[in-house]
Chains A and B, each alone.
Chain A
Amino acid sequence: MSTTSRKATPTSRYGKVGHVLNELDDRLGVAKGGRTFLDKIFPDHWSFMLGEIALYSFMVLMLTGVFLTFYYVPSQTVVTYNGSYLPLFGQHMSEAYASTVNLSFAVRGGLLMRQMHHWAADIFAGAIVVHMARVFFTGAFRKPRELNWTIGTTLLVLAIANGFLGYSLPDDLVSGTGIRIMFSIILSVPLVGTYLAFFLFGGNFPGTDILARFFILHVLVIPLIILGLVGAHLFLLVRQKHTQFPGPGRTETNVVGSPMFPVFMAKTTGFLMFVTGVIALLGAFAQINPIWQFGPYVASRISYAVQPDWYMGFLDGALRIFPAWEFTGFGHTIPLEVTLPAVIFPGILFTAVYAWPAIERRYTGDNELHNLLDRPHNRPKRTAAGVAVTMLLTMLFIASSTDVIANYFKVSLNTVLWAMRILVIVVPLLSYPLAYRIAKEMQGVAGVGKRKVTNVVVRTDDGEYIATPAPVYADDAHHELDPVPVPTFIEGAVETSGDDEAEFETTPGVRRVER
């Protein structure tokens, strides 16, 4: 009797999986939400995948990071190393450094995990910056997406902060120097600097609490905030739907792209594999941060040619090239050579980044909702401003390796220092009008961004040459896409129209739905 009733259910048509899903739907009502999710339309332009690099490298960071916490000891207790690396044998060092060397040399796969973690961190911050540049230059931050721009900027700040904290944890000679610099930067904050630094570091440098505090911030507090903000970032993205480039059949009120299932899911899963694969290959074949060569941090030791990881480079560069100015008066000393480049400058920079959508709205008076993206050349002022800031940061980034440049190209370090001081000011000032002019020129050029078509040249019997342009490529011609109803995966959940099924699938894999 039970067998007959089971056969009567429609699940038989979809096999056992369909049956389980149906049972789930009967109890939890997952069909509607699941259907919406599986049918979500992704305009999968390649530049939209830059953010995914960040997302997936963050996954790698979490997985490898959990592995590292099994072996890392966040303690500044001094121990004697007696592991396998001879140049450290018998040296006194913090337990943090000893455990990092041990997890590199004595734990199976430990060095691979550490290197993957470090490469993933470099790629995480890099992907965020590149993704942010895409969002900025195409105007994707405009109303209604200002909140997501704010969240994204916060994610970048947190990525940089957590990268610095993680870089500091091994307590090697190079990272210890970095902590020393950070301590001094916080000290340089006028009036409250000393209190702030002593509060954050639990006393003067080099203290005994620093690494334990950095550790809990690095593995728990900041990742948790990042995780929450990534969730909010993605929730807003789903809620507000993607932006899209203007193109055939694309308007402010629709979304053209591939559905989550099966097209986008296949693409993005493949991309996840690529991201993890590239990070794993880098971790396996490219050595990063060989802390055993640096030795443990001891306050009396210092190495020349110490640079931070790349995402801190602009701060290091600003510190390096800033003139030695100092203010003394009213019973206080303010080291302007540290305060201005390392506190005030990044403060202004990130405030401007946060405020940019509001600034632009105020400036243009544009309060409309925007779902179609700008081509960068159509917004020459924004593009030029973005290029100028990018060039400023690039110059500061280059300035963080003045010594390497001087040594490699056999130029005097003083020459490089002064060259960078000038370039940091001149290059952004020159790049603004240059980028502006290029954008303006591109607006005026017919057919820019379209593929060139060939000219068919024919010689007549009289010797005359006639050039006729070949027809434009089919993809470049403007044509409207018809809205395509999404298919039903779960029977009975939604009534299908059924009328124009023959017109389905004009372009395989691409759908167009109303917002």
Chain B
Amino acid sequence: MKMSSRARLGLLVGILAAAPLLSFASVAGASSQTPYQTGAANSGTPKSSTVVKGPGGSIVSYGNSAITYTVPSPALATLGQSLYLENCASCHGVNANGVPADGTSGAYPNLVGLGSATIDFWIESGRMPAANPRSVQAERRTPRLTHDQAVAIAAWINSLDPSYPAIPTPHLSGANVADGAALFALNCAACHTIEGDGDALAQGTYAPSLRNIPAAQVVEAIRTGPGNMPRFTGNLSDYQVRDIVAYVTEYLQHPKNPGGLGLGGLGPVAEGFVGLLIGVGLLALIGYWVGERQ
């Protein structure tokens, strides 16, 4: 097990400290960066070394060789505001703060300060504008707005209170799918199932299927935590997210199925039906054919 020098120092301090303080001291010392803790490298917050700034000094993009986060251009904000007022304001309010106009009722999420990746994910996955605003969970469907329109709306909301993460672009070429598979099993399979089909959760909510999700939206979901999903920021680095996305898009979405028909990825439920109906059923029919019938 490798330890950074600061962790070593922290451990040393911890050992030297009084017994009741031991655990506290070692945690405090190790807090710089471990794979399972939030830190600047993991959270989608820009690091000064990777930030690209525009002519006016505003951040245009940041990130690393695994994922580039692009801040939508402020020039799109005016277009974005008009699109927002047409498509979103009836619920989220004209100021995007979740307070609807006077005389209407409802409590909708405040969008200010969510980061442009969140806005882009909900619009580009077709969940917003919502088909049924009172449903337990907004359903994925054909997007009502184009990519450029989604970015424009994200630009306007981001201009109200610039925040992170920005819209990601994963670069999958150097990904390690084995790490991605292991991280997927550890972090994602508990809801989305190990085959990525998604499944029902409590009270009408569900983990959606991952079979048709574009790579960029997988990153957005991991980084922003839509709906019930936890927001994976601290415990996954950009490189780990990239590995997961590569595994999801290259293997889960295109299973090789060397064993024949995939049976819908439903596992033993489908296998049981095939085994009983086609296996035993067909053989019973053959027995009916071979044997006497009176």
Interface set of A (CB-CB < 8 Å, partner B): 43-50, 52-53, 86-91, 104-105, 111, 115, 119, 122-123, 126-127, 130, 173-174, 245, 247, 257, 267, 270-271, 274-275, 278-279, 282, 284-290, 293-295, 298, 300-310, 313, 401-404, 406-407, 411-414, 416, 475
Contact = CB atoms under 8 A, between A and B. Distances in A.
Nearest to A287: B259
B186, B279, B284: residue with the most chain A Cβ atoms closer than 10 Å: B279
B263 A287 contact: yes
A293 B279 contact: no
Interface string B258-294: 1111110011110110111011101110111111111
Contacts of B290: 44, 46, 49, 267, 270-271, 274
B42 to A, nearest CB: 20
B220 interface: no
A258 to B, nearest CB: 8
Contacts of B261: 285-287
Given A49-B287, A111-B259, A304-B190, A295 B185 contact: yes
A224 B275 CA distance: 25
Contacts of A115: 259-260
B178 interface: yes
Given A287-B257, A287-B261, A404-B199, A53 B269 contact: no
B176, B199, B292: residue with the most chain A Cβ atoms closer than 10 Å: B292
A64 to B, nearest CB: 14
Interface stretch (B65-73, B92-100, B203-211): B203-211
Classify the secondary structure of A's interface with B: helix
A289, A407, A412, A475: residue with the most chain B Cβ atoms closer than 10 Å: A407
18 contacts: A47-B287, A119-B275, A122-B275, A123-B283, A126-B280, A127-B280, A282-B275, A286-B261, A287-B263, A301-B185, A303-B194, A303-B195, A304-B192, A306-B267, A309-B271, A404-B200, A411-B204, A412-B204
Nearest to B176: A90
Nearest to B186: A301
B191 interface: yes
Contact of B251 (A87, A119, A289): A87
Given A87-B251, A122-B271, 12 more contacts: A47-B291, A90-B176, A90-B179, A267-B290, A267-B291, A275-B283, A294-B194, A304-B189, A412-B202, A413-B200, A413-B201, A414-B204
A122 B272 contact: yes
Nearest to B195: A293
B286 A310 contact: no
Contacts of B195: 293-294, 303
Contact of A305 (B197, B284, B289, B292): B197
Interface in B159-190: 176-182, 185-186, 189-190
A404 B195 CA distance: 13
B247 interface: yes
A174 B194 contact: yes
Interface string B233-273: 00000000000000100010001011111110011110110
A105 B258 contact: yes
A44 B189 CA distance: 50
